[in-house]
Structure formats: structure tokens, C-alpha cells
Amino acid sequence: MSLKNAEKSFVQELQVLYPQSEAQQIWWLAVENLTGFNLRENANQPFNPDPCMLKMLTGIKKRLLKAEPIQYILNEAWFYDIPFYVDKNVLIPRPETEELVDAVIRDCRKQPAVRILDIGTGSGCIPIILKRKLPEATVTACDISLNALAVARKNAAKYDLDIQFIQLDFLEASNWKQLPQVDVLVSNPPYIPVAGKASMHKNVVDYEPALALFVPDEDPLLFYRKIADAAKSILAPNGRICLEVHENLAEETQQLLEAKGFAASVKTDMQGKQRFVLAGFVNH
């Protein structure tokens, strides 16, 4: 089978799960990962796949048709400007989280030796980019999952970054004493009510870790309330809180933080969705 025929079959079959444009993107990712050859940038150059590669592409297609995300199949997801190792123990990084990281970088540029804590770090994508872009910063990250922290440490080691990773259940207030005082609290915590599962794509619900996605229907702001409470003891007086939030709960999150004694504001993402809440102590 020629590469062109393989591509046509691959993209057509994937359209039961993905729009044509996304199926095409997945094809390009798979070929580039297997061969190192960028089809998009070298469309006019001849490329003849060997039978082994075509067999591997068929295997990838079979897994994709079971709704397994391409990032888990390839163990790679790009975030910001670098690739990260990912597997079923961590969420696949999202573009909106890049905007959260951007906001922190802009906020911290005038304070090189800033101290940052990422709560619920998963793959480590947030602290790793922050440490790369703010090399003088002291960066700490925590997560309840030992398996997620193993992924985060693997990614930090790949880029030779000095980041402290701490395993703890952040929802348990007695654990906060293990955390350092910091100038910035950043978090993309679980924020999807369990009831939201019904409307989500199989590739998220069936494969990404529920622990990192969902919160109880009756307490969707659980993590934001705990972050606000923890901030009172671990956030420096002029410190800032930078949060990614549920697009339908941004104003409620802002109100929660204000009720806890913070000045808070809602920011939109590039799609115009209310996706971020930034906060600091009122008296500063």
C-alpha cells in the first residue's frame, strides 16, 4: 500500500470519531512520530514507507478507533513549545492551560526570584514551562498521585530542571504545612462536575484520569475553596493566585475568592470563554 492510500484509509476511518481536519492532524502526528519525517513541511518530497511502518500505522489506527487519544499512543503531547511524555496517569495538556502559564510568566517577569507552587501538577507541564521561562524562580509542584508525579519527574529530568515535587492530598488541610511559602499559587485543578461526563467525548472519559478531571456535583468549587484557604497560610503578603476554571463557573469562583478576602477578576481565553480567575489579597 502506498503512503497516499494509507493516509486516505486512515483519515476516512477516523472520521467516525473525529472531524476530517482533526483526523488529518492525527495522521501527520503519527507519521512524524514514527519516522521523524514532517509530511506537512515536506509535502512535495517523495517519502516511501516500508511495510513495517505501514503495519505500525495500522496498529495505531486500531487503537484510535477505540477512542484512545493519539497522545497516549505516542506517549507524547506538545505543550507551549516543547514535547512532554504523557500516559494514562496524567491529563493531556490543553491549549487554554498554555494561556494560564503565559499569564504567570507575564506577571513574574519583573520578579526574577519568584517562588511558585503548582497545585495538582499532573504531567508537570505548568511548572516545567515556568521554570524554563523563569530560570531564577523557585518552583514547587504537588499532586496526590504518585504515578502522575513519576511522569512529572521524568519530564523535568528530560529538560534538566530543578523542581521540587511533593506527593500529598491537597484537600486535607493538615498537609499544607508540607508546602513552602510562595509568591504565586497556580493551579488547573479538577473542576468538571460528575454530571458533565455524559456530554464528554469517549477519548476523555474512557482514558484520561478521572481523579484529575471530576469534582462532586454538589461541590464543584471544592478545589478553589481549598486553594483560597491554603493561600492564607502559604501565600506571601503580595502574592498572587492564578487559576484555570470551568467556563460556566468563573464568576462563582471569583465570588468565592472575594468572600475569602481576596480581590479577584475573571479573564477570558482566546476563544472568549471565561477560563481564568486571578486573585490577590485585598489589602495589597
The domain segmentation of the chain, as residue ranges, is 3-66, 87-281
Query: Residues 33, 17, 274, CA angle at the centre, nearest 5°?
Result: 90
**Whole-number pLDDT of residue 124:** 97
Instruction: Say whether pTM exceeds 0.75.
Output: yes
Check residue 46 and give its pLDDT: 61
| pLDDT for position 5 | 77
When the candidates are 3.40.50.300, 3.40.50.150, 1.10.10.10, 3.20.20.240, the CATH number that belongs to 87-281 is: 3.40.50.150
Percentage with pLDDT > 90 across the chain:
71
Given a cut of 90, is residue 40 above it in pLDDT? no
Q: Please report which confidence band the pLDDT of residue 194 belongs to, taking 50, 70 and 90 as the band edges.
A: confident
Helix (H) or strand (E) holding 34: helix 20-35
Say which DSSP state 92 is in. P
Residue 276: which of 256, 250, 239, 248 has the closest Cα?
A: 250
